[in-house]
Amino acid sequence: MSKAERLFNLVNFLRGRRTAMTAEALADSMSVSVRTIYRDIQALTVSGVPIEGEPGVGYLLNDKSHLPPLMFSAEEVLALMSGIDMVKAFTDPELSQAAVTAEQKIRTVLSPDLKYRAEHSPYYIPTLKKDKALRQHHWLLRLAALSKNKVTIEYTDGEGQNTERVVWPLGIMGTFGNWMLLTYCELRSDYRTFRLDRLQSCVRLDAKFETHEDLSFQHYIQRHIEPHSITS
């Protein structure tokens, strides 16, 4: 957990309390040391967050002060919650858990009306058991793209032909109904895309690759995607 996340969580713990909370109790709740809590309390106080209290007694947000809340419209809440549900359903377990904690943070700052809207969304995006293998591929490929490790894939194309290739995973693109892995394919010496649901296997290699101005995720998007995009 980063310091920014920790400070955010600390403020939220105190925001929901009517009585003082000791540094020891805060430390237990956040799985950090008491010394870390003391340092974080000092950092928040210096930055202007109105925390009252002292060591041995406890800490409390001044109820006469006002912390500016995050303000969302009903449509923004719907967009955020739908996006979070998509991450939970369609990406890997690690990102799915990050989406869960992000949702918890968002819900802490919603008004009662917006909380009701978040809980009564007209969208339902299920996480299906049959997608378990796909989600594992997603996880491996995401990490390989971030660390720039080459990957060996076994792939079945639309005509049922099986191939094995060494590719450079540049990024993952979401299209309607499909995830596409964008790669530089060593067999073809060019960009190639592969549907994740047609991957039979993928293995992350120790060998690294390097991108440059004319061979990168951004280069492909600018050349092939953005000219056809309504947001370009």
- Tens of pLDDT, residue by residue over 120-160, are 999 999 989 988 889 999 999 999 999 999 999 999 999 99
pLDDT of residue 145: 97
Residue ranges of domains in the chain, CATH in brackets: 3-61 (1.10.10.10), 74-119 (no CATH), 131-228 (2.30.30.520)
Task: Decide which of 74 and 72 is more confident.
Answer: 74
Mean pLDDT of the chain: 89
Beta-strand relationship, 178-185 and 190-195:
antiparallel
Q: Across-strand partners of 174?
A: 179
Residue 106 confidence (pLDDT) = 87
- 120: its two tokens: 């009564």
Sign of the four-CA dihedral 89, 94, 100, 106 = negative
Q: Is 189 left (phi over 0), alpha (psi -120 to 50) or beta?
A: left
Alpha-carbon span 42 to 157, nearest angstrom: 58
* Sign, Cα dihedral of 224, 228, 231, 232: positive
- Can you give the pLDDT at residue 63? 62
pLDDT tens figures, 180-205: 999 999 999 999 999 999 999 999 99
Task: For 7-56, write each residue's pLDDT tens digit.
Answer: 878 887 787 677 888 999 889 888 899 999 999 999 888 888 888 888 88
